[in-house]
Amino acid sequence: MIPTRLPLPRLTTPYYLRRLNPWPVPHYPATLLGRRSTHSPRAPLPSAATSSVLSAAAAALSLSSLRLPRTLVRPMADTSATPAHHNPKGGFINPWPSHQHFGFFSVLMAMVKDWNIRTSLFLPDEKTMIPVLPMATAQLTRPDPTQLQLTWLGHASFLLQANGLNILFDPVFSERCSFVQFAGPKRVRPTPCKVEDLPPIDLVVISHNHYDHMDVNTIRSLGPKPVYCVPLGNKAWLEDLGVTNIREMDWWDEADLQLGVAADTTSPLHGVKVVCTPCQHFTGRSLTDRYRTLWASFCLLFPNGQRFYFAGDTGYRTVRDRAHELTLDTAEDTTPVCPAFREIGERYGPFDLSCIPIGAYSPRWVFSPVHCSPEDAVRLHEDVRSKKSVGMHWGTFILTDEPLTEPPQRLAKALAQRGHTAADFCVMDIGAMLTVPASTTEATAPAPA
């Protein structure tokens, strides 16, 4: 007998909504906490989507059109030998108490109560924004191979020229840091040049797969000639873009590279040791791939003894108390800090030059697990034993709600409080160059062209 009324299907929450948790639950190894962990990592929103309602809406509408990598993470059968930052269930974690969990409702409360809509949606006066200088073309094409020459391209993008090599870090030349160019955080300061204006690139180093650090359009424009150094899980994604020369690296992996100048295959090879090192962050380019690929910082060691450090995108500690949101007191010093940076300094420091993030930190109690404040950046500078550092991850995109020009101001106060000066840790104009001679630790800033 056929029933006259069919039962309605049981409504369930879609998997991707059940997993929609902006911050990860920490999954610390038992050896760190002295007890068995019962947590499993949860999926955070990408930093760009977290800071932009339009980005999140566009992501939801266009999720079906996303092209995900063929494989994201290598299988790990032997969990007894699994490194602390590898999740035995798949993907990766931050294995330190300095990275703590903020639940969905905590982030929602921050968006409703603490988010400064004025600084997020309204730009400051053009005169107060960071200058964009014309590129010093002559110095780009004929750099001194005995010194480190660094050019800031905006946000976390840098061109490093050393030992006859042209090296790009986290290159993003698109108008928006988003998977579509009609929505998402828009560039508020232009790039100082186009991709085709750059000298031939030998090496591209990418810290992680967030849209403000890994850009499809830029990678396609660079083409397959450069060698790419990326953290675990990103090789297949780059291969889908036509890239073939890829070094996929885990934390503490070292790669001794001998690279020819890209413009001339007959020129002698130039050496550099690339070391993939830890940092405190997360990854994801959609609603379903959180923590599936690794994030990292990088050390570059040159034959003449010079050492360069790129911190990527990272937090330093977790601040839960909103009372310290915009203060420069030392109350935060009671919270655990990420121990990886001191270990990096002990293993590979001191560094002649470092790039350290100083922006996208407010509300502090929400973003501190994954983004450094200027105060954190100064401590990180000390931990890695950097002789000279440059602030990055600010002034280019509006990703969080601190005023666009606030990070350098807070950096100056934090430096003074810790007994440093701008000679130790500075900020640059977009398009400006900074050089560090091999024979001295003193850095000089060439005049723009």
Half-sphere exposure of 275 (CA within 13 A, CB side): 17
Does residue 187 lie within any of the structural domains? yes
Q: Number of folded domains in the chain? A: 1
Tell whether the model's pLDDT for residue 415 goes beyond 90. yes
CATH number for the domain harbouring residue 304: 3.60.15.10
Does residue 329 lie within any of the structural domains? yes
Does residue 295 lie within any of the structural domains? yes
d(CA 312, CA 384) in angstroms, rounded, equals: 13
Ramachandran assignment for 29, one of left (phi > 0), alpha (psi -120 to 50 degrees), beta (any other): beta
Q: Report the residue count for the chain.
A: 449
Map residue 308 onto helix, strand or coil. Answer: strand
Query: Beta partners for 308?
Result: 300, 353
pLDDT in tens, 225-242: 999 999 999 999 999 999
Of 179, 176, 157, 178, nearest in space to 168 by CA: 157
Q: What pLDDT is stored for residue 91 in this prediction?
A: 94
The string of DSSP letters for 4-50 reads: SSPPPPPP---HHHHTB-SSPPP---HHHHSS-------BPPPHHHH
Q: What pLDDT is stored for residue 401 in this prediction?
A: 86
Domain that holds residue 390: 127-437
pLDDT in tens, 3-44: 444 444 433 333 333 333 333 333 333 333 333 333 333 333
Does residue 317 lie within any of the structural domains? yes
pLDDT in tens, 162-172: 999 999 999 99
Q: What pLDDT is stored for residue 270 in this prediction?
A: 86
Does residue 264 lie within any of the structural domains? yes
Q: What is the pTM of this model?
A: 0.80
pLDDT in tens, 79-133: 457 899 999 999 999 999 999 866 556 666 666 666 565 555 556 666 568 899 9
* pLDDT average, residue stretch 296-317: 97
Does residue 83 lie within any of the structural domains? no
Query: How far, in whole angstroms, is CA 376 from its chain's centroid?
Result: 15
Does residue 149 lie within any of the structural domains? yes
Tell whether the model's pLDDT for residue 379 goes beyond 80. yes
Report residue 330's pLDDT band, with 50, 70 and 90 as the boundaries.
low
Does residue 226 lie within any of the structural domains? yes
